[in-house]
Amino acid sequence: MKKENSAPTMKDVAREAGVALGTVSKVVNGLPVGDSYKIRVEEAIRKLNYQINSYAQGLKASKTHTVALLIPNTLEPFYASLTYHINLALLKRKYRMLLCSTDYDSNLEQEYVAMAQQNKVDGIIGLTYNPDLVIEETTPFIAIDRSMGPKIPCVTSDNFAGGQLAAEKLADLGCRKVAFLRWGSSLTNEPNKRKAGFENGCLARGLSYEMKIINDGEPYKEFEDFLAGHIINGKLAFDGIFCVTDTLAHDILRTLKKLGQAVPGDVQVIGFDGTRHFGNKAYTCSTIVQPVSEIAEMCVELLTQENMLSKPPLVCLPVSYAYGGTTSEMPEA
């Protein structure tokens, strides 16, 4: 009857296999690792009779009624809005929320994951870009926007459909030659599907398109040069632009003004996120709106439901389009 105490942990597996803890975490969570590592980890799991499915216990035995939220910051409007709605969804269910603004600090992220493992919090909802975060499969964790592996539910907007919707809207509004601009992480993550969806929409609707993609750390000036390089006799070669976020659209709108291009007269612009001025006023641009409140509800619902076995690996929630002054339709009266 020493089952509870002698159950092998992920650390035991790492020691047995002679690999890093992160490697075990990846194998257990179904993420790709080199074949030789995978074999060693799987052998160690068999030898120690390590039980992967203990994850399925979930929050049934909630001890703390506290959930931690890992988020880069609460300054950027999308993060601020997510924080607000997740906070409300938890409070409604009598859960408390520990907030951890990570500023992309992976040590801090790992520290909070450890708290969940030590039962100091019941579970974690996390928006993290840390590819090396080690999450034991016994840790109730809900990811936002970036999959942490097939066994960890990830909640996100339907980014592909959103990209497609942006292309369709630009086509409906009379555009013929459009551009997609992206600035962001080169890591695989859900928002990157916006690009694929946009391409798909352009092809379906016969729009010609160009892409300009800049990774984090590269200078914004590349967008300025790209746009300036597409001005012929004072006229921009594009009549529509889809920006991967409203934040980028904000910068692009300033650049277009500097380049003497009128919005929406010369070129129409659609962003992504559904950001509102001062959190609750008009949209900052015409935009694909993320269902932030629904994302928040879904994260909390998945984390706090009892039967973890039924948890889906990826939940994509529907987006919508909203007019915000940078496209040429007549706004609603």
Q: Which residue lies nearer to a copy of itself by CB, 123 or 197?
A: 123
CA 72 to chain centre: 12
Between β-strands 96-101 and 141-144, what pairing exists: parallel, antiparallel or unpaired?
unpaired
Largest pairwise CA distance in the chain: 83
Under 8 Å between Cβ of 140 and 108: no
Minimum CB separation from a copy of itself for residue 80, in Å? 4
Among residues 31, 69, 37, 58, which one has the least CA distance to residue 148? 31
Nearer to a copy of itself, 12 or 76 (CB): 76
Residue 307 C-beta: closest distance to a copy of itself, Å? 28
Question: Angle at the Cα of 124 (from 122 to 125), degrees rounded to 5?
Answer: 140
Strand partners, 215: 184
Question: Least distance in Å: CB of 101 to a copy of itself?
Answer: 4
Choose between 133 and 236: whose C-beta lies nearer to a copy of itself.
Answer: 133
- Chain residues that interact with a copy of itself, rule: CB under 8 A: 66, 69, 73-77, 80-81, 83-84, 87-88, 91, 96-101, 103, 108, 246-247, 250-251, 275, 277-281, 284
- The CA distance from 202 to 209, in Å, is 7
- Residue recorded with tokens 């129409």: 268
Cβ proximity of 69 and 97 under 8 Å: yes
Query: Tokens at residue 41, please?
Result: 């980890």
CB of 299 to a copy of itself, least distance (A): 15
| Nearest residue (CB) to a copy of itself, 46 versus 94 | 94
- Residue 261 CB, nearest distance to a copy of itself (Å)? 20
Find the shortest distance in angstroms from Cβ 274 to a copy of itself: 12
Is 68 or 167 the residue whose CB approaches a copy of itself more closely? 68
Nearer to a copy of itself, 23 or 245 (CB): 245
